[in-house]
A and B are shown apart, each in its own frame.
Chain A
Amino acid sequence: MKKIWKYRFYYYLALPGLIYFVIFHYVPMGGALIAFKDISPFDGLQGFFDAPWVGLKHFERFTSSVYFYDVIENTLIISGLKILFGFPAPIIFALLLNEVLRMNLKRVMQTVSYLPHFISWVVTAGMVTALLATSGGLITESINDFTGSKINFLGNKDYFVGILVTSHVWKTIGWSSIIYLAAMSSIDPALYESARLDGANRLQMARHITIPSIMFVIVIMLLLEIGNLLEAGFEQVLLLYSPSVYKVADIIDTFVYREGLLALKYSFAAAVGLFKAVIAFFLLYTANRLANRLGQTGLW
C-alpha cells in the first residue's frame, strides 16, 4: 500500500489514458456480442438488445464452409510469407542506410524510400496490373523477349502469391524502416568507436552493436506482425484477385467480404472477427512468453 502512495504521481499520469481506454474501448466491447445474435444493424441500441440470441450459429457457418480450411491456409501462407520477407527487409534496409556516410545522399534515399507508402493500394494495384498485363505489360513483354512465352501472371496460381508478397514488401519497406532508424540514432557512437579500434568490421559491428541495441524495437515490431498474422492484406488481395486464383488467394477477409455482398452480414463478420481475435490473442500470448524467456521485454 505504501508503494502505491509512493508511486501516486505515476498513476495520475496514467489516468487520462486509462480513462480513454475504458470509455472508448471497454464500454463498446459489449458490441462483440453481436457475433452471438442475429442483428439488423439499423435498429440501433434497442435493436441490439431485442435481437435474438443464436449462440454459435455464425461461427458454425464459418467453420462448416467447404472453403474454411482453404481460406485459413491461404491467410496463413500469405501472411507468413509476408512476415518472412517483409519483416527483415526494413531492418536490413535500415542497416544498409546506416552505413551511408554522405548525409545528403542518406537523407534523400530515406525520404524516397517511404514514397510507396503514400501511394494507395488502388494505384499500386493499377500499376501492378499494368506491368503484368499479358499483352503490353512492361514486365510480361520483357520476359516474353527473353523466354518467348507470355505468362498470365495475375491469373496464375503459382505466381500470384509471389506478386502479393513482392508488392507488399516494396510498399512497406521504407516506412517500416523509420522506427529502426530512429532506434539506431540513439546508439552511443562511442560504442562504434571502440569497436573500430578493436578491429571489428562492418558486419561484426552490426551483429554485436547495432542489432542488440535495437532489439527491443525488433521484438515489439515482430510481436505486432505476429498479432496480425490473420490479416493478410485485404485491400491488396481484393484489388488483385479473381476467380482464377481464388484457390490460393482467397483469405478470411475476402471470404467475409463476399458474404457481405449477398446480404448485410454484420453478425457473421463480427463472429469471424471474434474468431480471429481469439487466435491472435493466443499467438501474442505465446510469442510474448517466448520473448520474455529469451530475456526481452515484450508486451509486458
Chain B
Amino acid sequence: MKLLYIIFSSVIIFMFSTVVKADEHDFVIFNNSGLLQFDGGGSDPAVLQRVSDHVAKLSGVRPMVIVPSLQDTTEQLNLLLAGSNPPDLFQADWDVYKSTLMPLNDLLKEHGQALLGSIPDTSWQYMTDADGNIMGVPRTAATSPYMTWVRQDILDEAGLDLPKTVEDLTAYMAAAQKINPDFKAGTRAWSTNKWEEPAFGFAAGFTGAMSYNAAFIDPSDGRAKPLPLADGIKDYLHFMNDWHNKGYWYPDNWSKFDESEVFRTCNIAMWSGWYSRITIIVPKVVSACPGMEYVRAPIMGPKGWIATTRPSGTSAYVINKKADNPEAIMKYLNWIWNDKSMEGYATGVNGIEGEHWSYEKKGFPAIINTKDKSDTKYVGDFGLPNFPYEGNMQPNDSLWATHFNYLGSGLTNLSDSHHPIDLFMAWDKGRLADETPSLGDVHRMIAENFTAFYTGERSIDEYDAFLAELDDAGMQDWIDAMTRQMQESWNN
C-alpha cells in the first residue's frame, strides 16, 4: 500500500517539476496560412535554427513559429488564443475574430510602407470595419474560380467552336454524348456543405445576380435580398433540371464523389467547379486519358455572364491585441511583402538564398530555382503566402507551370464573370449569424431544395411554396440583417 502511494507521489512530483524553456524570440507566429499543409512535423531543428538566424539578420526581427496540426487547425488556434501564451500573428477571418485583434492603421503608416505598396488599394476595402479600422493584411483577392471548362479534344472531334452562350453549351453536351454517351458534365453540390458551387457557376447568367449572401437590391423596397428571390431564378433551375432530364449531368454531382477517380474515367466533358480540379488534378491523371485537354470557356446567359466572381472575403493575417511587440511584427511583414524585392518572401518560404534557392530571373514576377523540401529540410516555417506574392514567385518547374500560369492569367481575370453587388464589401459574418439565429436552417433549406429542383425530385412549380418555407425558416430576418450591413458599408 505504501509502495503504491510512493509511486503515485513520485509520478505527480515528476509531473510538476518539468520546466518548459522557450527560445528567445520577438513574437510568435501560428502559421496556419496553408503553406505548411503537408509538413506537420516542421523542419529539421538544426536547419531551422540557421534559417532563423538568417531571417533575423535580414529582417531585424526573430519570430518563433508554431506549426499547426492540420486536421483541427481552427480548434487548435482558438484554444491557443484562450490559453496563457496566445500567438501574436496568425491567419483568420478578421470579422469572426474581431474581439481579439489589434487595428493596424498606425502600424502600417509607421512601419509598413513597403507592404502598403505591394497590395492593391481595393484589397484593403475588405479589411476595413465600419469604423474605418484596418483589421488585417489581406490574404486573398477577388477571383473567378468557378469558370466553365470544356474539352478541346471533344470540340475538335465534333467540329465545334468554343461555346459562347448557354445554347452553345447545351449543343456541345448533346454533341459530346453523340460521340460517347458516357460523357457527362461535372460540378459539385456537396462541397464545403454549401449550395454555392453550381450557383456560382451558372446562376448569374439567368438572374443577373448572385451571392452567398445578398444577391441584389429589390428596387421596390430597397432591401438586400438573396438569390432565391432573384428574378429569373426559375429559369436557372429549369436549365439545371433540363440538363438532368437529358442525362448531361454526372449522376454523383449531387452526392459525394472522389474527383481524382472521376477525372481519371476520362468521361468529364465539361466541368463547372473549383478551378484547381483542372489545374492540379487533371495534370496528374492526364496520362490515363490521352488527348484530354480542358479549355476555359466564358459563357454568356440571357442576363449576362453565367459565372460569378468570388469576393475576396475577410481572410487576413491578423495581429493579436495582446501582442507585446507589434512593431516587430509589422517590420517582419514589411520585409516579407516588400514591393521592391522578392527576397523576404522567397527566404521565408524557401530558406537561405544560395543554399536552398536562387534567382533564375529577378523582378515581378520572379522565377526561382528551388530544391525539394526533403533535401533542404526546411519546410517554410517562416513563409507567409499572400496573394500577390503567390503568383509572383514562380518555381522553375514544369509540373507547376499550368497552375501558376492560371493563377496569373485565368484566376484573376475578372472580365468574363458577373460582378456581385457585394464584391468589395466585407460581410461581418459573425454579426449576420447573431442577427439571424436560424441562418443555418435557411442555408440548409436552400441547399436541400435547390438539389431537389435540379434532379426533379421537387417540381419547380412548387417554387412559391419553397419561398414560403424559407420565410418560415427566418429568411426575412436574414434580409433585414443583410440590408443593415449593406447600408452601413455604403455610408462609409
Contact = CB atoms under 8 A, between A and B. Distances in A.
A242 B256 contact: yes
Contacts of A255: 440
B476 interface: no
A296 interface: no
Interface in A256-272: 258-259, 261-266
A186 to B, nearest CB: 26
A244 B451 contact: yes
**Is the contact region of chain A dominated by helix, strand, or loop, or is it mixed?**
helix
A101 to B, nearest CB: 42
B131 interface: no
A49 B450 CA distance: 43
Contacts of A16: 8
A162 interface: no
A40 B99 contact: yes
A64 B1 CA distance: 56
B472 A262 contact: no
Nearest to B261: A130
Given A41-B78, A42-B99, A246-B448, A259 B256 contact: no
Interface stretch (A131-139, A187-195, A204-212, A221-229): A131-139
Interface stretch (B25-33, B118-126, B325-333, B431-439): B431-439
Contacts of A250: 444
A129 B440 contact: no
Interface string A240-251: 111111110010
Contacts, number: 131
A150 B251 contact: yes
A263 B78 contact: no
B258 A43 contact: no
Interface in B170-186: 182, 184
A300 interface: no
Contacts of A247: 448
B257 interface: yes
B465 interface: no
Interface in B374-397: none
Contact of B251 (A47, A61, A152, A246): A152
Contact of A243 (B430, B432, B447): B447
B254 A262 contact: no
Given A243-B189, A245-B255, A65 B99 contact: no
Residue of A16, A44, A125, A243 contacting most chain B CB atoms (<10 Å): A243
Interface in B78-132: 78-79, 81-84, 86, 96-97, 99-100
B104 to A, nearest CB: 18
A258 B193 CA distance: 8
Interface string B130-161: 00000000000000000000000000000000
Interface residues of B, number: 56
A9 B437 contact: no
Nearest to A122: B71
Interface in B240-286: 250-252, 254-258, 261-262, 265, 267
B309 interface: no
| Interface residue tally on A, bucketed by range | 35 or more
A12 interface: yes
A249 B450 CA distance: 17
A262 B255 contact: no
Contacts of A40: 99-100
A76 to B, nearest CB: 19
B456 to A, nearest CB: 12
A29 interface: no
A259 B440 contact: yes
A55 interface: no
A65 B441 contact: yes
Given A65-B441, A136-B261, A41 B81 contact: yes
A152 B262 CA distance: 15
Given A152-B251, A152-B255, A243 B190 contact: yes
Contact of A154 (B79, B86, B256): B256
Interface of B: 1, 4-5, 8, 78-79, 81-84, 86, 96-97, 99-100, 182, 184, 189-190, 192-193, 195, 250-252, 254-258, 261-262, 265, 267, 429-430, 432-434, 437-441, 443-445, 447-448, 450-452, 455, 469, 472-473
28 contacts: A13-B1, A13-B4, A40-B100, A41-B79, A41-B81, A42-B78, A42-B81, A42-B82, A42-B99, A44-B84, A61-B438, A65-B441, A66-B473, A67-B444, A129-B256, A129-B257, A134-B252, A152-B254, A155-B252, A241-B256, A242-B254, A244-B255, A247-B448, A250-B444, A261-B192, A262-B433, A263-B434, A265-B433
